[in-house]
Amino acid sequence: MRKTETITITSEGRDKGKVFLITEMPVMRAERWAYRALLALSHAGAELPEGAQHGGMAAFAHAGLKALNSLDFEEARPLLDEMMSCVQVMPDPKNPMIVRPIMLNEMEGDDIEEIGTIFQIRERIFRLHTDFFFKGS
């Protein structure tokens, strides 16, 4: 069973009180995502540990989410978009069984309205997929 995590936005702003459900990617999809990210980072000249481009999600955990800042936006965008496919919104937190895909159409009415919320969610997605690497260290 894939791991899930619920995040409630507590920061002041338009997203305060919104609840999002993050679900771990299936293992093969997560591994492909990590390899694509590591190869893109390697091609961009980012400093990676020896052999990291062959290390999958564990190597990406070591490189960290901030490493994506080394990429050209056109290379980073599909990776960033795929990260957000792990996120659903819980429209009524009193009814946690009802969730739906988030709306991110880059227009009014999207479920995420604050840039800070996107950063919080991305950080939680990263942790959900890489926490195995840090347990016991």
DSSP 136: T
Residue with tokens 């997605």: 125
Tell me how far apart the alpha carbons of residues 117 and 101 are, in angstroms, rounded to a whole number: 16
Span 110-123, average pLDDT: 93
The pTM of the whole model exceeds 0.75: yes
Residue 67: CB atoms within 10 Å: 19
User: Is the same domain home to 12 and 48?
Assistant: no
Range(s) of the domain holding residue 53:
26-76
The CA-based angle 114-67-41, given to 5 degrees, is 125
pLDDT band at 42 (very low <50, low <70, confident <90, very high): confident
Provide the percentage of residues in the chain whose pLDDT is more than 70: 80
For the cut 70, the answer to whether the pLDDT of residue 49 exceeds it is: no
- The answer on pLDDT for 43 being more than 90 is no
Quick one: 70 and 31 in the same domain? Answer: yes
SS3 of residue 101 by DSSP: strand
- For residues 28-56, give the mean pLDDT: 74
116-131 in b/e form (b: 16+ CB < 10 A) is ebbebbbebbbebbbe
- In a domain, residue 16? The reply is yes
Whether residue 81 is contained in a domain is answered as no
Same-domain status, 18 and 33: no
91 and 128 in a common domain: yes
